[in-house]
Structure 1
């Protein structure tokens, strides 16, 4: 199973990424996550916690697997991945991201489209947990909707500096620039996210949901022309530069494991 589902009192559902070792996003995990979100909305769940694994929320795209896809399959993957981001952006109920470790690239994307991001501090100050959109470092341009979501979160100047450099930041820096909304001790992200959901569900429901929908309308509108991002991402994936950069990355990873 690539997901774990746990229901809690008050109508809160935890959807936990469970694809060892680092919850890398491949077509099967993205499809499962999309279906889990659809099901939660259809069943009238009141709030959702999106959680990952200890030490790594999600390591982002499963590059070795995705490099084996042809153009049609890769276009389908981008459609589905950006579709999950859109589903989070348009969620009718609050969604809290419980980030109990590193969250690069695709992991950071999922978190960006939630209502709030609660990130753990690393128990080892010499090895802080990091989050960021480091796509440029692996040869991928960041899709426009994702860039806009980061600008919405941290402001245009900070977003520009992070995006162009493909920079990762530690959890303390992420809090200071507004990339995440709260920090917690390692292992506490899911519990704190549940508490966040409970506080919001304790508010007058109709007023909370209506205000939330209006406040997040700009985020949802980023996907009004999603086909442009899907086409651009597919073309970029198959560019010579991107393919060469990612294949070199995979070779380094495989050499490290050897």
Structure 2
């Protein structure tokens, strides 16, 4: 279900912005007191790999933004070339059983929170956005991306199968035929390709411009009744949200079974070794 908190349309005070999250967290939340829009920034060096801790902070920050009755949420990255490199492979390679459960459950929480957020959401994609990064971006209602980067669900190239709810976000923005082929091929779209196919909505030349375009999108709802807007979104996204809510336990079991297959573990090990070699060159 969508979160019950409905964004307030009451203008804020005159200060430009205020920070809500402490520096120790892997995310920061900044509220613009003029627009009432919250910017949620991922900040886990080096590539915003989605590990348990970052996912926990993302989930808490989304709740924080809704509790604060913000007018909208913009998701972005502090890294100048990476939005998010996706799921942290180390969480899945030779995993601790309990941590693996917590990791996947928290990822489910983040998707349910972001895809089902009661406030308008937008992603300022200021870098490459593969796999889990693409999931976060497509969970938002609007996407603005910088040039010369790539975005997509490339799981098949890593020997991984994207869960059905990953595909739901993808299918919500792409024509089915394009999405099906891209998922099977593990295709990464360039910024221009993403724009042509509808995977993103706009292109911006800088992060500042991307944030401004996201804020403009959120501002387009200023004359719309917030309850009516939220309930409309709820109806449009209810099927996908309810499906995961009703099948969370089964989804977790499938994930744990798949990750622990010898062939998958071997593939993840090879991938990590290749990353180490690249980092040395």
Give the TM-score normalised by the residue count of structure 2. Answer: 0.84
- Report the CA distance shift for 1:65/1:151 in structure 2 as closer, same or farther (over 3 A): closer
- Equivalent position of 1:15 in the other structure: 40
What corresponds to 1:239 in structure 2?
Answer: 261
CA drift at 1:199? 2.1
In structure 2, distance between residues paired with 1:244 and 1:191: 44
Q: Which residue of 2 aligns with 1:220?
A: 241
Q: 2:139 and 2:242 mapped to 1: Cα distance?
A: 12
Q: Give runs of aligned pairs for residues 23-34 of structure 1, distance below 5 A.
A: 23-34=48-59
Name 1:229's counterpart in structure 2.
251
Report the CA distance between 1:70 and its aligned residue: 1.5
* d(CA) in 1 for partners of 2:252, 2:136: 16
Q: How far apart are residue 39 of structure 1 and its match?
A: 1.5
- State the number of aligned residues: 252
Deviation string for 1:16-56 (max 9, x for gaps)? 00111211111110001011111212222221111113211
In structure 2, how many angstroms separate the alpha carbons of the residues matched to 1:180 and 1:146? 16
* Residue 124 (structure 1) aligns with: none
Q: Is the 8 A contact 2:62 2:113 kept in 1?
A: yes
Note if contact 1:11-1:46 (Cα within 8 Å) is conserved in structure 2: yes
* Distance (whole Å) between structure 2 residues aligned to residue 176 and residue 139 of structure 1: 28
Give 5+ residue unaligned stretches, structure 2: 1-24
Pick one of 196, 213, 219 that aligns with 1:192.
213
Q: Per-residue CA shift, 1:62-86, capped at 9, x if unaligned?
A: 2135425312221221111121011
In 2 relative to 1, CA 91–75 (structure 1 residues): closer, same or farther, beyond 3 Å? same
Instruction: Please list, as runs of the form range in 1=range in 2, the aligned pairs for 1:98-247 lying within 5 A after superposition.
Output: 98-121=124-147, 128-187=148-207, 188-224=209-245, 225-247=247-269
- Give TM-score, length-normalised by structure 1: 0.91
SS for the counterpart of 2:129 is strand
1:206 CA drift (Å) = 3.4
Q: Show the counterpart of 1:125.
A: none
Q: Deviations over 1:90-132 (max 9, x none)?
A: 11111111101110011001111111111111xxxxxx20000
Paired with 1:54 and 1:75, the residues of 2 have a C-alpha distance of 31
Once the two structures are TM-superposed, the CA of residue 235 in structure 1 deviates from its matched residue by: 1.4
Q: Is the 1:26–1:66 Cα contact (8 Å) retained in structure 2?
A: no
For the structure 1 residues 113 and 147, does the alpha-carbon distance in structure 2 shift closer, same or farther, using more than 3 Å as the test?
same
Deviations 1:160-209 (A, max 9, x none): 11111111110111111111122111323222212221222343333333
SS at match of 1:200: coil
Greater CA drift, 8-17 or 101-110:
8-17
- Unaligned runs of at least 5 residues, structure 1: 122-127
For residue 14 of structure 1, report the CA deviation from its aligned partner: 0.6
What is the match of residue 28 of structure 2? Answer: 4
Distance 1:242 1:202 in 2: 50
